């Protein structure tokens, strides 16, 4: 049972808030009043869940969940609290869960990229990626509209905040850790799209490259579709439909209606084919699924309304039996899940937590 005052979530998390642990069990995380909730599968493949377990984080306003190749789950939050002088102070916090269903580490403050408290109150929620060597990279849009980053050394020591440049950026960037050891990050901006990347693992980030593309703010997400090659997905501002883009190419339309949030994206085999699965929230608040061949967007993309209203973007993962699982946060603040059941992306009945 929840240890907090209520078991109803206060909002959806961002990022990969449905994760698969090393033991084959899924965990699901949501925002809660004064912290976060965690649910964990009782057994590999479910269908039953234990929880919610309440993790107190006073002042938490936003939560992003990131999982590394090592299976560790990282929690990045924007925290807002009254200081000793009564003025509001904002910082970025970080914690880790090393094993499924077990305790978190202590929450560590990563500070704020701005020394001026007034400027610091205007930072956006953090996003992040964990490189294959386990080092965490945290990205925040600063008060002046550019991208700020803080990252670990391989020794575990955190570097100072770095200013990566850019201007007029959307609130959240879309970073991705690639199998070749590098991190890339893309952000929508008022003037188009900015892309940063490392030339080698652990290296410095390039100056941002600008592209005259027009994603709808708040809809960017990414997945690795080839060795060291990411594909980015968003809602195209001109066509108002989903689009896929790889650097060096024009965006390819995927059809479907516009989404209100960033797509959840998962690469998974479906009926023996290498596919990309998208999950989004339509303008009317309903959850939708999209499916197409990996790096074969021109071959067609298929969309399926799920007839379920949701808060924020749904989440996607494969369970310990390899099935695609869709999770969403209902309007009542309770999560629901459904699993791949049969050919294609046919889903089981929805299960409310």
Q: Report d(CA 72, CA 128) in Å as an integer.
A: 13
pLDDT at 27 over 50: yes
Peptide bond into 52 cis (omega under 30): yes
Beta strand 60-67 with 252-255 is unpaired
Please check whether residue 127 lies inside any domain of the structure. Answer: no
Average pLDDT over residues 118-135: 96
What DSSP state is assigned to residue 299?
A: G
| Token pair belonging to 4 | 């907090």
Please check whether residue 287 lies inside any domain of the structure. Answer: yes
Lowest mean pLDDT among 5-14, 55-64, 125-134, 155-164: 5-14
Long-range contacts of 333-342 (CB under 8 A, 24+ apart): 333/8, 333/9, 333/10, 334/7, 334/8, 334/9, 335/9, 335/28, 335/30, 335/39, 336/308, 337/18, 337/28, 337/46, 337/49, 338/306, 339/46, 339/47
Please check whether residue 173 lies inside any domain of the structure. Answer: no
Give me the pLDDT at residue 1, please.
Answer: 40
Give me the pLDDT at residue 4, please.
Answer: 46
Binned at pLDDT 50, 70 and 90, residue 85 comes out as confident
| Token pair belonging to 258 | 């516009």
**pLDDT, tens only, 323-348:** 999 999 999 999 999 999 988 899 99
At a CB cut-off of 8 Å and minimum separation 6, what does 143 contact?
114, 119, 120, 121, 122, 123
pLDDT at 3 over 60: no
Average pLDDT over residues 261-290: 95
Please check whether residue 134 lies inside any domain of the structure. Answer: no
- pTM for this model (two decimals): 0.95
Q: Report d(CA 173, CA 186) in Å as an integer.
A: 6
Q: Report d(CA 58, CA 76) in Å as an integer.
A: 14
CB atoms within 10 A of CB 273: 12
Q: Within the chain, what is the greatest distance between any pair of CA atoms? A: 61
At a CB cut-off of 8 Å and minimum separation 6, what does 116 contact?
none
pLDDT at 187 over 80: yes
Tell me which of 155 and 60 has the higher pLDDT.
Answer: 60
Give me the pLDDT at residue 209, please.
Answer: 95
Please check whether residue 264 lies inside any domain of the structure. Answer: yes
Domain CATH number, residue 292? 2.120.10.70
- The residue behind tokens 């790096």 is 295
- The sign of the dihedral angle between the CA atoms of 133, 17, 4, 124 is positive
CB atoms within 10 A of CB 265: 23
pLDDT at 215 over 50: yes
| Domain hosting residue 232, numbered range | 215-353
Average pLDDT over residues 233-246: 90
**% of the chain beyond a pLDDT of 70:** 98
Please check whether residue 240 lies inside any domain of the structure. Answer: yes
- The residue behind tokens 């956006």 is 124
Please check whether residue 250 lies inside any domain of the structure. Answer: yes
**Number of domains forming the structure of the chain:** 1
Please check whether residue 342 lies inside any domain of the structure. Answer: yes
Binned at pLDDT 50, 70 and 90, residue 176 comes out as very high
Average pLDDT over residues 296-313: 94
Beta strand 11-12 with 311-318 is unpaired
Binned at pLDDT 50, 70 and 90, residue 2 comes out as very low
pLDDT, averaged across the chain: 94
Q: Report d(CA 93, CA 118) in Å as an integer.
A: 19
**% of the chain beyond a pLDDT of 90:** 87
């Amino acid at each position: 049972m929840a240890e907090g005052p209520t078991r109803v979530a206060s909002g959806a998390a961002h990022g990969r808030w449905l994760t698969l642990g090393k033991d084959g069990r899924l965990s699901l995380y949501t925002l809660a009043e004064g912290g976060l909730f965690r649910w964990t599968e009782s057994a590999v493949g479910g269908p039953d869940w234990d929880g919610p377990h309440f993790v107190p984080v006073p002042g938490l306003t936003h939560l992003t969940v990131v999982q590394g190749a090592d299976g560790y789950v990282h929690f990045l939050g924007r925290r807002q609290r009254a200081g000793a002088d009564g003025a509001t102070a904002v910082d970025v916090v970080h914690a880790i869960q090393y094993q499924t269903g077990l305790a978190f580490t202590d929450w560590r403050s990563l500070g704020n990229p701005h020394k001026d408290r007034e400027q610091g109150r205007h930072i956006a929620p953090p996003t992040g990626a964990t490189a294959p060597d386990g080092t965490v990279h945290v990205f925040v849009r600063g008060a002046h509209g550019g991208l700020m980053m803080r990252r670990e050394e391989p020794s575990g020591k955190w570097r100072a905040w770095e200013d990566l440049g850019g201007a007029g950026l959307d609130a959240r960037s879309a970073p991705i850790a690639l199998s070749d050891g590098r991190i890339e990050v893309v952000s929508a901006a008022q003037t188009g799209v900015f892309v940063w990347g490392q030339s080698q693992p652990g290296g410095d980030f390039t100056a941002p490259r600008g592209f005259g593309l027009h994603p709808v703010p708040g809809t960017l997400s990414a997945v690795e579709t080839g060795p060291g090659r990411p594909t980015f997905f968003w809602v195209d501002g001109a066509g108002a439909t989903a689009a896929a883009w790889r650097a060096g190419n024009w965006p390819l339309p995927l059809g479907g209606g516009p989404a209100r949030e960033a797509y959840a994206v998962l690469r998974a085999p479906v009926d023996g084919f290498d596919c990309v699965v998208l999950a989004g929230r339509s303008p009317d608040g309903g959850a939708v699924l999209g499916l197409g061949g990996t790096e074969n967007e021109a071959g067609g993309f298929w969309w399926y309304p799920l007839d379920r209203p949701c808060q924020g973007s749904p989440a996607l993962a494969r369970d310990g039996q390899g099935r695609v699982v869709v999770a969403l946060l209902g309007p009542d603040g309770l999560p629901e899940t459904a699993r791949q059941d049969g050919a294609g992306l046919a889903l089981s009945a929805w299960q409310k937590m």
